[in-house]
Every structure is written in C-alpha cells, then in structure tokens.
C-alpha cells in the first residue's frame, strides 16, 4: 500500500509492491496496533474521497509499478493482489503483475528469496522513470533490449 501511495504522489522512480493490499479500507478486517489517528483515517477511508490512503488509479504520470504476489499467500492472496493490479488498467503508466507460485506472504524469508529479489531489482532498474516508455514491455524484454 505504501509503495502505491508514494508513487502516486510522485515520490519514486519505480516501485515494487509485494503482497499488496487494496489501498482503501485495509483495516476493516485486521487489527493493527498504532496511533489512533492513523487507524481512524484508515477505518473511514472508504467514506472519504480525500482520505490519506487515496490513490489516483488513473494517474498517467506515476512512476512504473510492479505488483508481486505469492501463490500460497493466505494473508494477501494472489486474487487480491491481481484485483489491485486491475484497478490501474486505465492508467497509461507502466503497471505489471507477477505471481510467484509456491511462495507465501513471507516470500522474502523463504528459501529462494533471492530469485524474487533479483526479478524485482531487474524490473525496477529496467523500468525506472524515464528509462522505459512502453507499457507493454516486460522485464525480460527490457533486459533483452539492454543486452543483458
């Protein structure tokens, strides 16, 4: 969620969101300890069009965003991450989704985490704002075009 919010506000060259939750209303189901002001804002985000957690999904000038899910994630299942990805379908900004089968919510703590990290890093380098203009170009295409 934070990656999406920061990119929407122009604070990043590229972003990778792993096991991302929907931007608004994420605290409806889970209790998260923290300052009550933050919880109050998030609890009523769906009723406030100008909520702090609001993201403009049609922002065509947003930096590239990669959303990653783990196939065995039961906290943020692939269906949730993919639904979040589809919210950006009308934006001209680069947005891609990648599922890693067999990975859980703790994907970066599991054996083989480096394969996920390498993919995310290669993608971010290849898509950093200003380096790639083609929304349909995949990370593999970017790497091949760069001669890697």
- pLDDT tens profile 31-49: 445 555 555 555 555 555 6
Asked if 120 and 70 count as a contact pair (C-beta separation under 8 A), the reply is no
pLDDT at 108: 85
pLDDT for residue 131 is more than 80: no
CATH 3.60.20.10 fits 2-21+59-145, yes or no: no
Q: Where are the domains of the chain?
A: 2-21+59-145
pLDDT at 60: 94
Question: Residue 99 pairs with which residues in a beta bridge?
Answer: 69
Closest by CA position to 81, among listed 123, 140, 34, 22: 22
* 117 or 132: which leads in pLDDT: 117
Asked if 67 and 81 count as a contact pair (C-beta separation under 8 A), the reply is yes
Question: Residue 18 pairs with which residues in a beta bridge?
Answer: 68
Geometric angle at alpha carbon 52, from 46 and 53, rounded to 5°: 60
């Amino acid at each position: 969620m934070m990656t999406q919010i920061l990119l929407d506000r122009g604070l990043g060259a590229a972003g990778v969101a792993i096991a991302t939750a929907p931007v608004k209303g994420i605290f409806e189901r889970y209790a998260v300890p923290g300052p009550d002001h933050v919880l109050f804002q998030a609890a009523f985000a769906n009723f406030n069009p100008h909520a702090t957690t609001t993201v403009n999904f049609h922002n065509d000038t947003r930096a590239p965003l990669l959303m990653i899910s783990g196939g065995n994630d039961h906290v943020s299942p692939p269906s949730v991450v993919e639904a979040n990805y589809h919210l950006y379908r009308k934006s001209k900004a680069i947005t891609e989704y990648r599922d890693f089968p067999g990975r859980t919510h703790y994907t970066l703590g599991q054996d083989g985490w480096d394969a996920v990290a390498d993919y995310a890093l290669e993608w971010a380098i290849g898509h950093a704002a200003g380096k790639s203009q083609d929304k349909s170009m995949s990370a593999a295409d970017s790497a091949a075009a760069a001669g890697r």
